[in-house]
Structure 1
Amino acid sequence: MAGIKQASVARFKRKEAIIGIVGLGYVGLPLMLRYNAIGFKVLGIDIDTSKVDALNSGKSYIEHISGEKIAQACESGFEATTDFKRVAECDALILCVPTPLNKYREPDMSFVVNTTDAIKPFLRAGQIVSLESTTYPGTTEEELLPRIQEGGLRAGEDIFLVYSPEREDPGNPNFETRTIPKVIGGHTEACLEVGVALYEHAIDRIVSVSSTKAAEMTKLLENIHRAVNIGLVNEMKVVADRMGIDIFEVVDAAATKPFGFTAYYPGPGLGGHCIPIDPFYLTWKAREYGLHTRFIELSGEVNKAMPEYVLGKLMDGLNQSAKALKGSRVLVLGIAYKKNVDDMRESPSVEIMELIEAKGGVVAYSDPHVPVFPKMREHHFDLVSEELTETNIASFDAVVLATDHDKFDYDLICQHSKLLVDTRGKYRNPQVHIIKA
């Protein structure tokens, strides 16, 4: 069976392999563009017909990925489809599907399981399956392995299985798919060897680990590290504020230490698909071993409380002007979860909007990256982005800076806001109408 492995490796090394990417979102689409750019034939597979139609028409639905790049990819051989039968054409199947939590903060593995079930009738000898979705340690072995072997193929001999977590950072100009090191764990040594061959052309640096479980845990540690440290600095923010200390000044000063300190800055809560969600995959799995992940759960409580903290600061500010939140017009600046992107997933800004509305406030938003409030599974506002003019800013009783996009005119906002609640430390000089939150 070594011949199957060697033939697979050779196909990747010669760039003769067809790369199948299942799930064409924030992770799958940049990966497609990278493989296409270096000369591989790429087939994109997604259950969303609108996405497939857009891509085949040379259009993009993600702001930081231009339609021009999609059109160029189509011209050089990229094709998108909803037909899972075409899995059989692919030499590699890279799964980039969502892994959300359900309302009980338990992993919702339905996308991973359903995708694996959809591809398994069309698997054949010589293929490699790589899962990139963030998940709990053991997922690849427990969910993917038995499914890909159902038809008689043996992992490590006939077909190859790896876990290689995504590390995309949308909106960060300092990194791209190629320059972010790629962690890979294989089900067997042979699986790992084929996995390295799959990714080595596309990624500058490959980091091999001993197992799929180790790779799965690596991704969780990366995100838990951030969640815990953000929780710590958010708690420090509350303490510092009560003491009359600017936490942003403190973090800046501490960051001058050349060793032993990494700067994390507070905010209105956690957003995005990773940091608010991924730590709880480990929390859930740890229960199976009779363990409690206390740091994770505590940081989750702190971070989850931040939108309420912002609401309290807003109400305090209005109260100083003898105004109630009920009936006040409040403009939320930035509803994407992080600066300079259009990604709304788990955005704390949306929770702040809901809290304002629940208290009787009249809420509006402005976000240069999100012109119309999108349809979301759990949130709905029939709103469009407000234009930031002198007159419009001044018409609101309060402005809440929730996401600090570079496109905002911060001087304009400051000069014409009646009350400005700053959750991002954008305004460092104390002013009567600015409240730090």
Structure 2
Amino acid sequence: MASPSFFSVLSAKLESRSARAGVIGLGYVGLPLAMAIARSGFAVTGFDIDPNKIVALDARRSYIDAVTAEALTAEAEAGRFSATTDFAGLKACDVIVICVPTPLTKHRDPDLSYVEATSRSIADHLRPGQLVVLESTTYPGTTDDVVKVILETTGLKSGVDFFVGFSPEREDPGNQHYHTATIPKIVAGDGGHALELMNAFYGAVVKTIVPVSSNATAEAVKLTENIFRSVNIALVNELKTVYAAMGIDVWEVIDAAKTKPFGYMPFYPGPGLGGHCIPIDPFYLTWKSREYELPTRFIELAGEINSAMPRYVVGKLAEALDVRSGKALSRSKILVLGLAYKKNVADIRESPSLRLIEIIEERGGKAEYHDPFVTEIPPTREHQALKGRASVALSPEALADYDAVLVATDHDQVDYAMLARNAPLIVDTRNVFNRLGLSGDHVVKA
């Protein structure tokens, strides 16, 4: 009798939940995913090159808001979750999920160094019968042309000895309505067997799976989602500048327009784009499109508009200081309210607040920040000079020391009424004071 195929053996393990999963990269995507996999009944090993994360996880301390210490403790004590920096443990995993960063270079080209290095680490320990999944956002073709190619340098063949799939992450930090297991999951595979295994694995972990025809299609789905947001945010940011010149409040326009029950979806302006996805992912398609000699004018224009917003906001700040107090920005001290890229989270990745601080100081002003979620600026690749700066406390006495407050992130844990009473000038990029009925002559929208 012939031995069962690697496909049938892995299928049986997935069905019985006896398969072990490995998640590489225990950040905003990887750790919540690892918890969801563990809750579904699979044993999970988390891998990360940062030993500080492993120390925290071993002590049952979560550094991700979406994962509570109680949930982490429950899965670890049940024997379903452990974490390590030793990638030799990949050999024991039946399913390996890659959740590593995919940033851009200084020239806005894809930086796949983390994906490539991780794929080589997997190749060092690859054995027949494993399913390898990429979740990192990237350009169409990465899974098949980069990950699979690296894995096949072992002599093993995709679709026969091991299996490769792509399933884009859809995490939304701070979202209280959806979490990993309840967000529909796009799944794809290199061939029919790989897709069946993807369906079996993710179908056991999340409520709804959405299979598509190829890994490249799944990669394009993720890019399309983020390009849609980038382009629409750029549109309202551009409208903000045009309507401001006409004396029209763009937020009032949007609130009225969204009463139309069809054909309109509200997007809101801000001080720029933040987060790991929207400011970065569209340029993966821009880069790939060059191979086909096709322009991506909408994507590139949206990027230009959104990237220009921090400088526009600082311009409005300088104008407001001059008009209302006769003081130049170069002689002013500014408090930037909110360092995180969105409200009620601690995530500062690509946050426009970092650029706002830099531009204020480039123009000779002094900038400090307050953020209830970010007590100190951690190391960043693009803003190294800001490392170690600490959040200042908010009080009427402290506000007297600043010439203006620049609202970049509208966290709920802020006493806006106290700000309205005590700040001499407020430049609001989020329309929070108008929403709360705290508008006044000293509140300027930007």
The 5 A counterparts of 1:146-225 are: 146-225=149-228
2:240 partner letter:
K
Q: Among residues 250, 253, 256, which one is paired with 2:256 in the alignment?
A: 253
TM-score (ref. length: structure 1): 0.98
Partner SS state of residue 143, structure 1? helix
The 5 A counterparts of 1:25-44 are: 25-44=27-46
Name whichever of 394-403 and 423-432 sits farther off: 423-432
CA-CA distance at 1:125 after TM superposition: 1.2
Q: Among residues 71, 83, 86, which one is paired with 2:89 in the alignment?
A: 86
Partner SS state of residue 405, structure 1? coil
CA-CA distance at 1:2 after TM superposition: 7.1
Name whichever of 164-173 and 420-429 sits farther off: 420-429
Partner SS state of residue 150, structure 1? helix
CA-CA distance at 1:29 after TM superposition: 0.3
CA-CA distance at 1:298 after TM superposition: 0.3
Q: Among residues 424, 427, 431, which one is paired with 1:425 in the alignment?
A: 431
Q: Among residues 412, 416, 437, which one is paired with 1:410 in the alignment?
A: 416
Equivalence for 1:18: 20
Name whichever of 105-114 and 257-266 sits farther off: 257-266
Equivalence for 1:375: 379
CA-CA distance at 1:64 after TM superposition: 4.1
Distance in 2 of aligned mates of 1:335 and 1:199 = 35
Note if contact 2:166-2:189 (Cα within 8 Å) is conserved in structure 1: yes
Distance in 2 of aligned mates of 1:146 and 1:301 = 35
Distance in 1 of aligned mates of 2:423 and 2:170 = 38
Distance in 1 of aligned mates of 2:430 and 2:18 = 48
For this pair of structures, how many residues does the alignment match? 437
Distance in 1 of aligned mates of 2:78 and 2:333 = 51
Name whichever of 208-217 and 116-125 sits farther off: 116-125
Q: Among residues 426, 433, 443, which one is paired with 1:434 in the alignment?
A: 443
Q: Does 1:103 align with 2:106?
A: yes
Q: Among residues 371, 376, 401, which one is paired with 1:395 in the alignment?
A: 401
Following TM superposition, the consecutive aligned residue runs of length 4 or more in structure 1 with deviations greater than 4 angstroms are none
Note if contact 2:428-2:445 (Cα within 8 Å) is conserved in structure 1: yes
Equivalence for 1:113: 116
Partner SS state of residue 294, structure 2? coil
Distance in 1 of aligned mates of 2:424 and 2:401 = 9
Distance in 1 of aligned mates of 2:363 and 2:64 = 34
Distance in 2 of aligned mates of 1:194 and 1:218 = 20
Q: Does 1:304 align with 2:307?
A: yes
Q: Among residues 280, 290, 295, which one is paired with 1:292 in the alignment?
A: 295
Q: Where do 5+ consecutive residues of structure 2 fail to align?
A: none
The 5 A counterparts of 1:126-137 are: 126-137=129-140
CA-CA distance at 1:145 after TM superposition: 1.1
Partner SS state of residue 309, structure 1? helix
Note if contact 1:58-1:71 (Cα within 8 Å) is conserved in structure 2: yes
Q: Percent identity?
A: 51
TM-score (ref. length: structure 2): 0.96
Distance in 2 of aligned mates of 1:250 and 1:2 = 64
Note if contact 1:333-1:365 (Cα within 8 Å) is conserved in structure 2: yes
2:417 partner letter:
D
Name whichever of 354-363 and 267-276 sits farther off: 354-363
Q: Does 1:272 align with 2:251?
A: no
2:413 partner letter:
K
2:118 partner letter:
T
Residues 143-181 of structure 1, C-alpha deviation per residue, up to 9 Å, x if partnerless?
011111222222112211001000000101010001100
CA-CA distance at 1:13 after TM superposition: 1.4
Residues 250-269 of structure 1, C-alpha deviation per residue, up to 9 Å, x if partnerless?
11111111111111000000
Note if contact 2:65-2:174 (Cα within 8 Å) is conserved in structure 1: no
Note if contact 1:64-1:341 (Cα within 8 Å) is conserved in structure 2: no
Note if contact 1:400-1:422 (Cα within 8 Å) is conserved in structure 2: yes
Distance in 2 of aligned mates of 1:303 and 1:435 = 20
Supply the RMSD in Å over aligned alpha carbons. Answer: 1.2
Partner SS state of residue 216, structure 2? helix
Residues 62-90 of structure 1, C-alpha deviation per residue, up to 9 Å, x if partnerless?
24433332222221221111111111100
Distance in 2 of aligned mates of 1:173 and 1:326 = 41
Equivalence for 1:51: 53
CA-CA distance at 1:403 after TM superposition: 0.5
Note if contact 2:184-2:207 (Cα within 8 Å) is conserved in structure 1: yes
Name whichever of 215-224 and 366-375 sits farther off: 366-375
